[in-house]
Amino acid sequence: MELSLADTKKWIELFVQKVESEKSQLNELDTAIGDGDHGTNMDRGMKAITDAFSKKEPEDIVSLHKTVAFALIQKVGGASGPLYGTAFLDMSKKAKDDADLTTLIQTGLAGLKRRGQSDVGMKTMIDVWEPVANALKADEFNQSVIDEALTSNKALVATKGRASYLEEKSKGHLDPGAQSSAYLFEALLTVLGA
């Protein structure tokens, strides 16, 4: 399934709105197991995306993903900027020859794993991306996939990132990157009408 340019833009705009409205929630999650600024960092990135779209309307899916990637890389601090940026940059490159939504999400996931040198089960955003990618492939993507991914993430002990310093104490806390990724995919569900 391919998303039209208009639907892809709507997806990102809904993600922007959600992150902006949940900035304090993301900071709160990050305060528990990180340095408390995931919401602030992501909000800065969301404003950069909106600004980039207003300056130059993306003419295709490739340029849209690339615009998102660079806005996030340049404006989001910590690990999240490079991670989200890599995912969207890899998706923009892939979209040149294959704009299938499932393929793009799989490509973004592979970029996250490569850049973060991590995998599912390490209490990162990958714990949301991978189940979503698999569900899209199986044509079973819905809200419960996201909910279950977040529940699983919360139960994990962090072995990657700042939260890993807490070891067992990280258990029972939701990774803020997993939550912001959930917002990304909830926005996608809205666009898909699922």
- pTM higher than 0.95, yes or no? yes
Q: Averaged over 178-187, what is the pLDDT?
A: 98
Of all residues in the chain, the percent with pLDDT exceeding 90 is 96
pLDDT in tens, 50-94: 999 999 999 999 999 999 999 999 999 889 999 999 999 999 999
Mean pLDDT of the chain: 97
Q: How far is CA 96 from CA 52, 57, 146, 186, in A?
A: 21, 18, 28, 25
Q: Are 66 and 85 in contact (CB under 8 A)?
A: no
More confident position, 160 or 13: 13
Residue spans per domain, the chain: 5-192
Domain spanning 5-192: which superfamily?
Answer: DhaL domain (1.25.40.340)
DSSP states along the chain: -B--HHHHHHHHHHHHHHHHHTHHHHHHHHHHHS-S-HHHHHHHHHHHHHHHHHHS---SHHHHHHHHHHHHHHH--TTHHHHHHHHHHHHHHHHTT--BHHHHHHHHHHHHHHHHT--TTSSSTHHHHHHHHHHHHTT--SHHHHHHHHHHHHHSPP-SSGGGGGGGGGTTS--HHHHHHHHHHHHHHHHHT-
* Cα–Cα distance measured from residue 194 to residue 186, given in angstroms and rounded to the nearest whole number: 10
Q: What is the dihedral of CA 14, 18, 20, 23, to 10 degrees?
A: -160
Is 39 a residue whose pLDDT tops 70?
A: yes
User: What is the model's pLDDT at position 161?
Assistant: 87
